[in-house]
């Protein structure tokens, strides 16, 4: 073996060693760089997350610090019972306390009064030829004259007697009744509601006063007691 060949082999071995060593160093350096990069990336990521979290919390704090719009107060808040308009109970009871309109009465027929009411003073009866009381008034009129109700009310009774013939009784309320004697051609019946001026029949002869001029015998009672028709009905 030549001397030159012997000394050239170690050179190849040294070169390979250097190359391997360099590769190792590069590998180690690369690994170190990669590890450092990952660490930095994690730090950046954590920092970003913290910043985002801090930013979100800041926004939440700002929103919560904004004063909310005041609620619209209820219309009834602060209103007491005395604030409500007061309606007197009398306004409700006005109608119940209101008195009905006064009854207006009229004469049942038009004519001269032949005989007045006389409960105590005796009057002469041409039919019976004696003196007796007269519990109504006799109003002169021709037979067939229409008899009108002196006021509104209800037909309470219709009866017939030998002295007065057919008598129609009308209840006007408040204890007042009117009686019409010697009625024919009846236009009403018991229980009928009638108004002042409504026809109830026509005039005929009163049996117990047949000697007198043709007339209507008209009576009025207050609480079932005979009384002056002109006085009670205000027809004077």
pLDDT digits (tens, 9 = 90+) for 183-210: 999 999 999 999 999 999 999 999 999 9
pLDDT band at 31 (very low <50, low <70, confident <90, very high): low
**39 φ, ψ (degrees, to nearest 5):** -60, -45
Overall average pLDDT of the 11-16 stretch: 55
Q: Is 171 exposed, middle or buried (0-12, 13-18, 19+ CB in 10 A)?
A: middle
pTM: 0.58
**46 φ, ψ (degrees, to nearest 5):** -65, -40
**71 φ, ψ (degrees, to nearest 5):** -65, 145
Three-state SS at 124: strand
Three-state SS at 122: strand
Q: Is 139 exposed, middle or buried (0-12, 13-18, 19+ CB in 10 A)?
A: buried
Question: From CA 38, how far away is CA 23, in angstroms rounded?
Answer: 22
């Amino acid at each position: 073996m030549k001397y030159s060949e012997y000394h050239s082999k170690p050179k190849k071995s040294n070169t390979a060693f250097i190359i391997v060593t360099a590769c190792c160093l590069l590998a180690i350096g690369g690994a170190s760089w990669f590890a450092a990069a990952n660490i930095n990336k994690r730090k950046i990521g954590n920092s970003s997350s913290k910043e985002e979290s801090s930013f979100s919390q800041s926004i939440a704090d700002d929103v919560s610090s904004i004063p909310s719009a005041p609620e619209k107060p209820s219309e009834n808040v602060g209103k007491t019972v005395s604030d409500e308009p007061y309606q007197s109970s009398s306004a409700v009871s006005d109608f119940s306390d209101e008195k009905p309109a006064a009854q207006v009465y009229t004469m049942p027929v038009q004519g001269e009064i032949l005989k007045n009411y006389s409960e105590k003073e005796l009057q002469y009866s041409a039919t019976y030829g004696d003196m007796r009381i007269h519990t109504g008034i006799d109003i002169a009129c021709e037979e067939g004259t229409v008899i009108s109700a002196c006021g509104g009310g209800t037909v309470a009774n219709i009866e017939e007697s030998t002295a007065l013939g057919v008598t129609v009784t009308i209840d006007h309320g408040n204890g007042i009744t009117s009686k019409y004697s010697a009625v024919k051609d009846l236009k009403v019946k018991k229980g009928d509601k009638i108004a002042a001026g409504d026809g109830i029949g026509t005039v005929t002869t009163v049996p117990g006063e047949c000697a007198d001029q043709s007339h209507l015998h008209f009576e009025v009672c207050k609480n079932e007691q005979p009384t002056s028709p002109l006085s009670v009905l205000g027809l004077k």
